[in-house]
Chain A
Amino acid sequence: MAQAPAAATSGATLGFEPGAALEAQALVRRFGATQALDGLSFTVGRGQLFGLVGADGAGKTTAIRALAGLISLDSGRALVLGRDPAQGRAAVRESLGLMPQQASLYPDLSVGENLRFFARLYCLPRALFHERSSRLLEITRLGPFLDRRADALSGGMYKKLALACALLHRPEVLLLDEPTNGVDPVSRRELWALLHELVHDGMTVLLSTPYMDEAERCHRVGFIHHGRLLLAGEPRALLAGLDDETYEVEGGEREQVDERLANLAEVHAASPAGSTLRIAVARGSGGTVGAALKPLAASLRPVAPNFEDLFLARVRQEAA
């Protein structure tokens, strides 16, 4: 299952897939010398939580901006609920919510004033605004800071406000660009809980993240690398499809172990993890490697593979 993104889209069809909330169809975009998007394709069904995972510069922000209709594409098409969000009078923008990566609110306006502005921008009736904003303020715990200027909020609180502003009009599709970047683990878990609640109520959510470990929290995940999808699918299925076995090496003298492992063809990757060493070996060769390490007083302990292992294996495959 760890293969090209064919599983994620209906291939070359340029039509609108019924039921798809978001579609990226072979997006291509170049900025000067950088190929930001290089044929990116994927589909997100309604009510799904899709994660776009990748390093800085892989094309996450560009992809999200393309889906929001904010940048022009060299070729390919981005569709939200079957329609092009970049068109001048696009009504589909009423159903779209965006939380950009960079600061996008008004620093000299207070929390309340920012919310009020976005509510009016979406023509929200007053009563509905009060009801929704109270709920959102409660969830984000920003209630006590209603009169505080946005530029006086801490980083995490600012992001919560940006999210609240994006949710006021109850969009059908929500795009989040690195919402958890720099956010502490507690707030991050709260955010994920909130997102899952929203998805449970029918919202489609696409978010981008540089954190590999967050892939597991999505319904479906796409690993983006150099503007293309390296891998896409359900997280557990992807992990199950990993060919390598993963172990932690315990004991032994580090230098010797490193050297011995470097000489074994079965060992595909070895990297430090805390005070131990984490290795990925060809399937079925755990015994061989274990035996090779025994004389060095080192042993192998099997560990579950993670997404970093998956990513690295795929990158290795591509290079080969």
Chain B
Amino acid sequence: MTRPMRFLIRVGAMASKEVMHIRRDPRTLYMALAMPVVMLLIFGFGVSFDMDRIPLVVLDGDRSVASRSLVRAVSAGHEFVIAADSDEATALRMIRRGQALAGLAIPAGYQRELAAGRDGEIQLIVDGADGVVANQILSKIDGLVRAESLRRIDLAAEPPLQVKVFTLFNPEARSALLMVPGLAVYLLAIAAVLLTALTVSGEWERGSMEQLFASPVGRLEIVLGKLLPYLGLGMLQLLLVVAVGAMIFDVPIRGSATLLFLAGFLFLIGMLGQGLFISVVARNQLVATQAGALSSLLPSLLLSGMLVPIENMPRILQVLSSVVPARYFVHAMRGIMLKGSGLSILWGDLVALAIFALAIIALATARFRRRLA
């Protein structure tokens, strides 16, 4: 029997044994398949940046037809709800108490100014404690007021300058579209690292590693054999997550699905490899779990561009993020799903993912000591 054949047989032996372990441990299966889907649903529905029925305090100092028309325009839709029509003191108190998130102040003389052909200034007071909310309110009010002012002008006369905002790829500004690809990467990363972190350290703890090392099986054979079943599981996870995204959150896949799964494949090898590396170094499951959770959670959350744009980060973190595989996969996921980007744009991400995958597997194998002590 040739060397390569023996290699394959041994990898096959390790892989099929691992499959048997997985099937007999329902917790692993739960973690692999159910958890990401459940988390995606929770995050997707629960964490939404789309705001609705924002409570607004109106300070109408003009009490004119024009001012009332403006207030009606703002409150006509579902975005704002008039919480009160009052004075400044009340407005501030309500905002402080959280009973209102913003105040719209229309000064006396608003109608007169407009009739005279001058600009009508109105003031928006916003609770700036939550920047995301504040920005949303700002842009919504801006849009509504702009629409109202257009309506007031004779529509035949075109305004001299206009900025037509055309939001590519996410015209409704649905935060789900923004969140889901990033979330999917985040959840896959954690699940993958944890799955493999437990497997090798489990063998150390149980004592079966002694028997393995006394046999001719090589370190690479052990690493690959343990990797393969979880790779299959990971691809299944990816499929599930993408399906949930598409069916429940209407997140499309505008680009090539093949490219998506190729990127996912490379990403998973890297993450599983990371877990294996931890597993090889930390010889007990407790340490492996903690190290695995930390090393996958933090980078994927903070450095991948999932939550905070990489361009907004300080230089040092930007550099750091270049070695975080999640960054490339988030970029690729968003590119393929939302923008329909192809290989020509994403080849860099794929190369980066492939490099990380190879490097981590090599590292895990090298660090795998054949000695018990």
Residues of A within 8 A of B (CB): 31, 65, 68-72, 86, 88-91, 93-94, 96-98, 100, 102-109, 113, 117-118, 120-123, 165
The one of B1, B20, B21, B371 in contact with A123, judged by C-beta atoms closer than 8 angstroms, is B1
Near A by CB (< 8 A), chain B positions 1-46 give 1, 5-6, 9-10, 12-13, 16-17, 20-21, 24-25
What's the Cα separation between A90 and B20 when bound, in Å? 29
B211 near A104: Cβ-Cβ < 8 Å: yes
The B168-219 residues at the A interface (CB cut-off 8 A) are 206-208, 210-218
Taking a contact as CB atoms closer than 8 A, the residue among A71, A94, A120 that contacts B373 in the complex is: A71
Residue of B nearest to A124 (CB): B9
B373 and A123 contacting across the interface, CB-CB below 8 Å: no
Known A120-B10, A120-B13: A70·B206 in contact at CB below 8 Å: no
Question: Could you say which of A93, A106, A117 has the most chain B C-beta atoms within 10 Å of its C-beta?
Answer: A106
- Give Cα A219–Cα B118 distance, bound, in whole angstroms: 114
Question: How far does the alpha carbon of A91 sit from the alpha carbon of B210 in the complex, in Å?
Answer: 17
Interface residues of B (CB under 8 A from A): 1, 5-6, 9-10, 12-13, 16-17, 20-21, 24-25, 206-208, 210-218, 370-373
Chain B contacts of A86 at CB under 8 A?
A: 370-371
User: Which of the listed residues B1, B16, B213, B214 has the most CB atoms from chain A within 10 Å of its own CB?
Assistant: B214
Q: Which residues of A contact B1 (CB under 8 A)?
A: 123
Residue on A with the closest CB to B212? A121
Q: How far is the CA of A70 from the CA of B372 in the complex (A)?
A: 6
Q: A86-B370, A108-B21 are in contact. Are A117 and B13 (CB under 8 A)?
A: yes
Closest to B7 in A: A123
**B residues less than 8 Å from A91 (CB atoms):** 216
In the complex, the chain B residue whose C-beta lies closest to that of A85 is: B214
State whether A71 touches B217 (Cβ < 8 A). Answer: no
What are the residues of chain B within 8 A of A71 when measuring CB–CB? 371-373
B207 touches A94 (CB 8 A): no
B9 to chain A, nearest CB (A): 5
B216 adjacent to A94 (CB under 8 Å): yes
- Residue contact B216 to A31, C-beta cutoff 8 Å: no
Q: A93-B216, A98-B214, A108-B24 are in contact. List 6 more A-B contacts (CB 8 A).
A: A71-B372, A94-B216, A98-B210, A121-B10, A123-B1, A123-B10
How far, in angstroms, from A88 to B218 measured CA to CA in the complex?
Answer: 8
When the two chains form their complex, are residues A107 and B206 in contact, meaning their CB atoms are under 8 A apart?
yes
Minimum-distance CB pairs A-B, first 10 = A120-B13, A98-B214, A104-B211, A93-B216, A108-B24, A102-B207, A68-B214, A70-B372, A71-B373, A123-B6
Closest to A70 in B: B372
The answer to whether B17 touches A106 (Cβ under 8 A) is yes
A93 to chain B, nearest CB (A): 4
- Chain B nearest CB from A204 CB (Å) reads 15
- A108-B24, A109-B20, A123-B6 known; A118+B215 contact, CB < 8 A: yes
- Minimum distance in angstroms from B213 CB to a CB of chain A: 6
B13 cross-chain contacts in A, Cβ below 8 A: 117, 120-121
Return A55 CB to nearest CB of chain B, in Å: 21
Interface core residue of A69, A86, A103, A121 (most chain B CB under 10 Å): A121
Shortest C-beta distance, B7 to chain A (Å), equals 10
Residues of the B chain whose Cβ atoms lie less than 8 Å from the Cβ of A65 = 210, 372-373
Please name the residue on chain A nearest to B6 by beta carbon.
A123
* Closest CB in chain B relative to A161 CB, distance in Å: 12
A108-B25, A120-B10, A121-B13 as given contacts; A70 in contact with B20, CB under 8 Å: no
Known: A102-B207, A105-B208, A120-B9. A96 touches B371 (CB 8 A): no
By the criterion CB–CB under 8 Å, are B208 and A104 in contact?
Answer: yes
B210 touches A109 (CB 8 A): no
